[in-house]
Chains A and B, each alone.
Chain A
Amino acid sequence: MKVRLYTNTKTRWNENWNPYGILETAPHKGYKDSLITGKPNGHWRTASGSNDFQQVFYKKIGIDIVTETAFNYPYPSTSEKILRPLINKRMFLLVGPPHTLKFIKTKGFKTFEPFIDETYDTIEDPIDRMQVLLQEIDRLVTLPIDSIRKAVLQYADALESNFQTVMNLETVETEKIVQRLSNI
């Protein structure tokens, strides 16, 4: 009797959230803006030099539109991708599972309302959530670039706080795990 289920990794089941083509989701060939320089950073445990390059071009942007690995998923999910704007002191939108912003706030991170409308985080339907995200992107990119610069300064305390929180994140999480394990 077969007791396990496998599927083709190219056809992930949770990718099938736009079956009627309400949104345009056809893939395209690769693209890279000239502003984005350096080699892919790969994993975080690489030699220290390879981690520095992103900080060069992060200085040149106001908001990181982070696309997490999962989008249509029943639980919040965080990876190294959302760590980047936290480390680089930039605002962000999170194209990921619902309630993920709520989760990262429990870790002590600050987000950017009211400058960024973050109601998308509460929308569980993936198509509705994506449409609201795209509308918010439309609004933000039509603002004068000076508005983005002013917002970055306006949220400077939050950005500094996020940097300190992310620097302590591994220690805090490790201590919490060790404490829980010692009670088992």
Chain B
Amino acid sequence: MLEIDHDFDLLKQQLLDTKKPIFEPKDFYLAEDLHGNYYLPHCNYSLTTFNLVRTFQEVDISLNRCIIFTNQPGYINGLKALIADTKELPIVFDDCWSVFDNNCLDTPAWQDIDIDAHAIQRHALTMLGEPRVHRNALYNHIQKNNYFDKIATSYRGVDEG
């Protein structure tokens, strides 16, 4: 979803290019939505979800032809707020944590390290990436209380990954 988030005409064109007069039972569009941005106050769906639904409706393809993979349990509730007819709801896999996008685990690369408590030098670590309000709040708290000797900190994308 990230690739079309800025312009849903890209999705619209893909849908128009692939639309069939009658879909086979096992014909589905697959989408992954792992980025919880643009949450409107008092709405339980994101603008990404809103735009997805509107684009399908615009080209007159039922959302029930769509399977959405997300890491947000309860995501279907936002769709229910946008789609009145439950028969039109997409199929949602809402507990996909590790299998898509950048969360995929390169398991063999990880070492099974020993738990060596003697090696611990600091109470905590926090790797704060791109500035967001909650990260700014935490960073300000660390700075205000001079916790840098207790909490190893990186901020603004420095080694946040």
Residues on A lying within 8 angstroms of B by beta carbon are 3-7, 9, 12-18, 23-33, 35-36, 38-46, 48-49, 51-52, 54-55, 57-67, 69-81, 83-84, 87-90, 93, 95, 97, 103, 106-107, 126, 130, 133-134, 137-138, 140-141, 143, 145, 148-150, 152-153, 156, 159-160, 163, 166-167, 169-170, 173-174, 177, 180-181, 184
Contacts and interface: CB of A to CB of B under 8 A. Distances in A.
Contacts of B119: 59-60
Nearest to A168: B107
Given A4-B55, A95-B135, 16 more contacts: A23-B140, A27-B136, A28-B140, A30-B156, A44-B102, A55-B110, A60-B121, A60-B122, A61-B123, A62-B123, A67-B126, A88-B113, A95-B138, A167-B105, A174-B99, A177-B99
Contacts of A88: 113
A39 to B, nearest CB: 7
A180 B93 CA distance: 9
Contacts of B143: 28
Nearest to B150: A141
Interface string B95-131: 1111100111111111111011111111111111101
Contacts of A167: 105, 107, 110
Contact of B36 (A14, A23, A150): A14
Contact of A4 (B50, B78, B93): B50
Q: Which of A24, A44, A174 has the most CB of B within 10 A?
A: A44
B23 interface: no
Interface in B11-53: 26, 28, 34-41, 44, 46-47, 50-51
B85 interface: no
A183 B102 CA distance: 27
Interface of B: 6, 8, 26, 28, 34-41, 44, 46-47, 50-51, 54-55, 57-58, 67, 69, 71-75, 77-78, 91, 93-99, 102-113, 115-129, 131-141, 143-145, 147-148, 150-161
A45 B106 CA distance: 6
22 contacts: A4-B54, A4-B55, A16-B41, A26-B136, A27-B131, A32-B158, A36-B154, A36-B158, A45-B106, A52-B111, A60-B121, A62-B123, A76-B73, A95-B135, A107-B95, A145-B123, A149-B117, A163-B112, A169-B97, A170-B99, A173-B95, A177-B96
A14 B157 CA distance: 20
A23 B137 contact: yes
Contacts of A13: 38-41, 47
A61 B152 contact: yes
Contacts of A30: 154-158
A64 B123 contact: no
A14 B38 contact: yes
B136 to A, nearest CB: 4
Contacts of A130: 134, 137-138
A141 B71 contact: no
A18 B134 CA distance: 9
A149 B106 CA distance: 29
Contacts of A159: 115
